[in-house]
Amino acid sequence: MPQDFTVTIATPLLLTVTGDLNSAGEVVCDLRPSAMAAGSGALIAADNLSDLDDPAEALTNLGGTATGVAVFTAANTPAAQAAIGAGEAGSAVFIAATPADARTALEATATGSALFTAEDAAAARDALDVSNVVPLVVYLTDVISANAVVVAVVAPFDCEIVGADLWASATIAAGNLTATLAINGVAVTNGVMTLNAGATSGTLGPCTPTANNEAVARQGVIRVTVGGGNTAAGRGTVTVYVQPALIA
């Protein structure tokens, strides 16, 4: 049965209620929820998530968009990826365990992967199998050692000499045929190429410089001097391999 209760408030409070006056001049109000007029705001049942039994409505109340709700309620990873519009390749990249797996998902070739992961320009060139070594060829019109032929080539750019090969058309006789490198008159360390006596035209005499070979300025003169003890007449070439300084 209805019971009376008294509310004591220390601070003045304005409470507006709707009710009926009884014969004693008292205001009679029914404060049960079922008797209250429909309200508004976050605390009414329709907006209070704790009172909702419909998850979809709760998600909407939280401001979830169609995509957000689809991701939030996705039953599994593929469903979540589909919700955000990921294609087959995108999904594969998203769940790739390693960078290599991600590149495989994108159908990267071995060359493409190597190029993509190259640490520097030199590694990128290696991935593309691009050589940055330029051959400079000088011709020897005479390979008889006693004639001491001197030929030269001018460097087309700043570079360093990384190697050289001597070739002769004749079979080397009596003694060795040599060709010595110098840059602007300074001998290149380990810059002597040699064809031993008896070497035929199918033989090369290589050298790999180790010093005084790096600072070849543009228009620097790379000189080749023929020497040794060869007596066989013929022609020859010296191929000087240089590496451009800008892309070394």
Q: In what order do the strands lie in the sheet with 177-183?
A: 150-154, 221-228, 177-183, 186-195
d(CA 20, CA 82): 60
d(CA 198, CA 171): 6
pLDDT value at position 125?
Answer: 73
pLDDT value at position 220?
Answer: 94
d(CA 60, CA 85): 21
pLDDT value at position 247?
Answer: 46
212-245 CB burial, b ≥16 within 10 A, e <16: bbeebeeebebbbbbbbebbbebebbbbbbbbbb
Complete domains list, the chain, with CATH: 1-62 (no CATH), 86-127 (no CATH), 134-247 (2.60.120)
d(CA 55, CA 203): 85
pLDDT value at position 248?
Answer: 43
Low-confidence ranges of the chain (pLDDT < 70): 1-21, 25, 27-52, 130, 246-248
pLDDT value at position 68?
Answer: 83
Tell me, yes or no, if the pTM score tops 0.85. no
pLDDT value at position 146?
Answer: 96
Longest dimension (CA), the chain: 146
Which pair of structure tokens corresponds to residue 5? 């209760």
CB atoms near residue 193 (< 10 Å): 22
